Amino acid sequence: MIPRQPYIVAIGGTMRPGSMTERVLLNALGHAKISGARVKLLGGESLQLPLYGTAPANHPLVRNLLTELRKADGVILASPGYHGALSGLMKNALDYLEEARNDEQPYLSSRAVGCIGLAGGWQAAAATLSGLRGIVHALRGWPTPLGVLVNSMQTAFAEDGACDDERVAQQIQAMTDQVLDFCRNNQRNTRTEAHTTGRVERLMSVSSAGVVLLDEQRIVYANPMMEALFAQPHHTLLGQPLEALFDDEDGLDTQIAAANGQWHDRQAKRADGNFFPAELSVAALNDGSQVAEIRDVSERKTLEEELRRLATRDPLTGALNRRAFSERAELELARSERQGSALCLAIFDLDNFKRINDHHGHSAGDYVLQCFNQLSQRQLRSTDIFARFGGEEFVVLLPESDQKQAVALLDRLREQWVRESLPTPGGVLHSSVSIGVVQIDSAQPLEYWIERADAALYRAKSAGRNKVCV
């Protein structure tokens, strides 16, 4: 008997015809068709559905969506990222699967679903992919072990779906192969698929994530990626409780017991005792066992940390920016008022800085700013809050310092800056700095004290520059 061709339905798109989302799906469907599948694309035009709950189920677009999904052996979903989540157009379309709740195969039950997240950055694409996979779990589908991220700032697709990035194209093909493998296995024996270890192993062995099967909350199968992630051989993983692979965190037992397929950030523990940031998803299977998926998200966490750093730092000098200074200073003002401790605020302005830019060029001016930041960071205490306010102006908040102590510290910094020799292509430069300082001694807003310090700075400038004035 000749096997029936798998029928693969791809869903995704925007209000704009020929969107990148549709092109990505054409790439996946092209590979599926070459591999012997029948395919159907429900693009943006097919997804312009009425808001769910406002139209009857026999609406032509609704009927077409549900009919194609009910016929599908496998599904591929793709969504652009909007504000950290999948698009409203896509979410609305998936909401209509509630109309399939009473089907013999409700929602996406017994179907493999490949998920693709697209966005103009890796973090947004990852958030979109995670959202899609969570919805697929909730709709009882089986997300393929491999999900695909597409960074639209780095990868392009032609109108026919051709991809200019071989690595991304290979990932899309691998994900599509997983959908097709599941479909063909499911066709051979849908009632015993969950119990056929060999088939499950083939599917999980191609995953870029660690995947384990749990029976009575102990590991009975681990794919090859688990060995690499946790730096221990396969046989030592078997029989362990899943909790043994993670730090003792609140909520881990609850997540395993709930087994609802939701992703949670965890600290995973390697055999050598070192930890790495991971995402963990645990889902229940029909036979009472569970499947857990574990991803190493070290790169994502590093990127998030770098984005947080960039959001608070001046890009030229590396000092705090004005916004970050204001946030930290407000906290310090509140602490000082609460504890009755001394606190001073000072504003710096490099003298005749415009002359440096005009005579030596802006690159020399930038170098002077960087040198002043480095000197200030060395001279100030770790508890002091130092920032660049813009141009040649800097600011510092000095906790646990009264006016006399602050003036002494700032005068030492001023004298050291005057002695600095700054080599540039145009010759050695020398610079000076004027400083205005004020002691914070009443419950006034931060802007009030900045204005007071700025007035003191003006007095320092008027008195001939290169001075500290209060």
pLDDT of res. 188: 67
What whole-number distance in Å separates Cα of residue 56 and Cα of residue 134?
27
Band (359; pLDDT cuts 50, 70, 90): confident
pLDDT of res. 205: 55
Mean pLDDT of the chain: 88
pLDDT of res. 76: 96
pLDDT of res. 206: 52
Helix (H) or strand (E) run with residue 173 in it: helix 166-188
pLDDT of res. 170: 94
The architecture (CATH level 2) of 209-311 comes to 2-Layer Sandwich (3.30)
- Three-class DSSP category at 222: strand
pTM above 0.75, yes or no: no
pLDDT per residue over 97-113, tens digit each? Answer: 998 888 888 899 888 99
Residue 138 CB coordination number (10 Å): 15
Pick the closest to residue 378 from 420, 343, 413 (CA basis). 413
Higher-scoring residue by pLDDT: 163, 390: 163
The architecture (CATH level 2) of 313-469 comes to 2-Layer Sandwich (3.30)
Band (169; pLDDT cuts 50, 70, 90): very high
Domain boundaries, the chain: 1-193, 209-311, 313-469
| % pLDDT > 70, the chain | 94
Mean pLDDT over 352-370 rounds to 91
**pLDDT(189) > 60:** no
**pLDDT(1) > 60:** no
Contact status, residue 465 vs residue 432, Cβ threshold 8 Å: yes
pLDDT per residue over 61-78, tens digit each? Answer: 999 999 999 999 999 999
Which class is 1-193 in CATH? alpha beta
**pLDDT(83) > 90:** no
What whole-number distance in Å separates Cα of residue 346 and Cα of residue 79?
50
**pLDDT(393) > 80:** yes
pLDDT of res. 223: 87
- Three-class DSSP category at 459: helix
pLDDT of res. 196: 44
Band (434; pLDDT cuts 50, 70, 90): very high
pLDDT of res. 234: 86
